[in-house]
Amino acid sequence: MSSRFKFITNLFAKEDSKSLNSAFPIRFKMLLIISFVLLVSVSGVIFLASYFFRKDSEGVVKENNIKINDILALKVKSDLQSIRQDVHITAAGILRNPKASQAIAKELFGFDQSFILIGAYGPGLQPKFEVLNEDFLQNFDYQKSEIQNLMGTIKEKVKKAYSGSTVIWNASPYFRHPMLCLAFPLSESKDTQTILVTLVKLDRLLNAFQTSGTTETFLIGEDGSVLAHPDAKIVLSGSKLNDLPIVEKMKKSLVDNGQFRYENKEGAYYLGAFKKLGIGGVGVISQVEEEKVFQAVNDIQKRNMYLLVIFLALAFIVVYIFAKSLSTPILALVEAARMIQAGQFRLNLKATTRDEIGVLTRSFVSMGQGLEEREKLKDSFGKFVNTDIAELAAKGQLSIGGERKNCAVFFSDIRSFTAISEKLEPEDVVEFLNQYMSEMVTCVKETGGIVDKFIGDAIMATWGAIRSSGNDSLDAVEAAVRMRERLLIFNKGRGSVKKPIIRIGCGINTGYVIAGQIGSSDKMEYTVIGDTVNLASRVESLNKESGTDILISEYTYDDVKSKFNTISMGEIKVKGKVKAQKIYAVLGRKGDPKCPKTLADLRKLVGIPTPEKK
């Protein structure tokens, strides 16, 4: 491979090395994408399952609350009506036969031990009769005065019964046992001036309101007082729950039942329902704390989240292994691309899979082999055609036809080459010419020139035909000076018949030429033609009679006079030119201590005899 192509390839490799470094590898993309899909899908399933389970649980709780309320309301209403009926029958019997009041009441007390007092009261709560359960008072150590004092305090509370309503009131705070006070008119149609009042022990109702599972039920009076509750202490304390949203909702409701979600003063959310009994403004309330209801849902969510984390971890491991198996051959292809950019076309790649990656790997190997063959061909082609021209031709950038360009044209020739070649075998001539040409061509390439052609022992080169450095004359003269220096080194140890000393003459001219592909349809070459080329050839031929090795035209001189020491050789009539041409001999670089000071010093340095004056 040519050194110029290696330099360009390495340059591109350095510039593109950063672009080949992936900022976001494919394995991490796959991990993120698949993990995101799993997370979204599984989380969505968990959310939807939990949501519908929560909704189903909420529906079951609400339905259960309604059923419990209906059952309890039916039972409490039945019990209250039974109490009312028993009291009414007993009171009617006593009012018909006041003398037998104790016997009639004792019959009821013996049948139902929950009755403590039965009484009939006229206007102003004047008693018509009042019968106490003596056994209850004796068994639980209550005094008659306590009952009588109570009746004096409830005058305002039972007054509503005179208007035909039923009054149900919690009398428990006045006793050591849960007590219920009922007051209702003796007759709803005839005698509303007489009311019946009874005190009943709440055992039968409290048993119905014992907490079952997560549902809490209680009986609320018209004034918001708790008539029955699973916790007997609440009943005994005479607590009121008017601040409870469900109680407030029930009291304001125009219908006999309802349910809704609410928050209590502690910040806990409940699902509650109420059912009005239609007697004395009493209602049954059932409520369930959401945290308890949805505990199972929350537990399932937690378990599902644990499973999600486990599945994601397993999926992460599996996807990582899969992504690595996918990205490893891709990274190998990336490295192969770097090698190709660096000019290493022989790739040590093997397809390990039969998928698209395997196909791509085999294609990469095949491409590397093709590029290697192409580079070998271009390298071989570059030995016959200039490398720059070969590259332009390979890229299809070499235009057909000619272009007018300003170039520096160079010609060199070996002095007395015919006499030298006669003394050598043809093989020896070819060998020493190859050695000589290699040294001279190197000087042309080092200064950015291209060798146009070899004409026997002569070399034709140009600067600016393909690309220009800005001062092609300077590059051409520098190449000629380097040839002089290389030739001095080349001639060391030479001087025999087999190894004769080589002396050359160089001519340089600068001007406009026609550069392009010239030839026939079968064979073409890239060259330059024009008067500038002809003058450069004429200038080179003047070296022999001038006793010089490097001559330049006045056009070239104008471009290099500030950089090189020259000597004017006068005006010389050149064949093909009407006007005499000014010619200059190049001594060397300005500022170079080894530069010859005079033409005689130059001739002595390069071994040129002084020519006869003409």
161-196: pLDDT as tens digits: 888 888 888 888 888 888 888 888 887 545 568 888
279-300: pLDDT as tens digits: 888 899 888 888 877 777 777 7
DSSP type of residue 173? G
460-479: pLDDT as tens digits: 999 998 888 889 999 999 99
* Amino acid present at 216: E
Which of 321-330, 341-350, 594-603 is predicted most confidently?
A: 594-603
pLDDT band at 12 (very low <50, low <70, confident <90, very high): very low
What is the number of residues in the chain? Answer: 614
Summary mean pLDDT of the chain: 81
Residue 315 has pLDDT above 50, yes or no: yes
Whole-angstrom distance, CA of residue 24 vs CA of residue 32: 11
- Name the percent of the chain lying above pLDDT 70: 86
Residue 383 is predicted with a pLDDT of 55
Closest CA to 197 of 110, 280, 129, 100: 129
Whole-angstrom distance, CA of residue 238 vs CA of residue 234: 7
Closest CA to 243 of 267, 265, 258: 265
Q: Which residue has the higher pLDDT, 538 or 6?
A: 538
The percent of the chain in helix, strand and coil, each rounded to the nearest 5, is 50, 20, 25
Whole-angstrom distance, CA of residue 148 vs CA of residue 116: 12
- Angle, alpha carbons 27-28-33 (nearest 5°): 100
Whole-angstrom distance, CA of residue 536 vs CA of residue 449: 15
Q: Is 413 helix (H, G, I), strand (E, B) or coil?
A: strand
Which of 1-5, 10-14, 111-115, 153-157 is predicted most confidently?
A: 111-115
Mean pLDDT to the nearest integer, 185-208:
77
Whole-angstrom distance, CA of residue 300 vs CA of residue 294: 10
Element holding 310 (H helix, E strand): helix 295-341
Residue 142 is predicted with a pLDDT of 83
Residue 480 is predicted with a pLDDT of 95
- Per the DSSP assignment, residues forming a β-bridge with 553 are 583
Residue 5 has pLDDT above 50, yes or no: no
Whole-angstrom distance, CA of residue 444 vs CA of residue 535: 20
- Domains of the chain listed by start with CATH number: 52-295 (3.30.450.20), 398-606 (3.30.70.1230)
CA dihedral 490, 495, 496, 499 (to 10 degrees): 20
Q: Which residue has the higher pLDDT, 7 or 262?
A: 262
Whole-angstrom distance, CA of residue 451 vs CA of residue 461: 4
Element holding 46 (H helix, E strand): helix 26-96
**Residue 150 near residue 171 (C-beta atoms within 8 A):** yes
- Name the percent of the chain lying above pLDDT 90: 17
Residue 1 has pLDDT above 60, yes or no: no
Q: Which residue has the higher pLDDT, 4 or 518?
A: 518
Q: Which residue has the higher pLDDT, 22 or 295?
A: 295
Whole-angstrom distance, CA of residue 158 vs CA of residue 199: 12
Q: Which residue has the higher pLDDT, 505 or 209?
A: 505
Whole-angstrom distance, CA of residue 481 vs CA of residue 470: 19
* Amino acid present at 569: M
At a CB cut-off of 8 Å and minimum separation 6, what does 377 contact? none
Q: How far is CA 317 from CA 24, 31, 42, 299, 312, in A?
A: 19, 9, 17, 27, 9
Mean pLDDT to the nearest integer, 256-283:
86
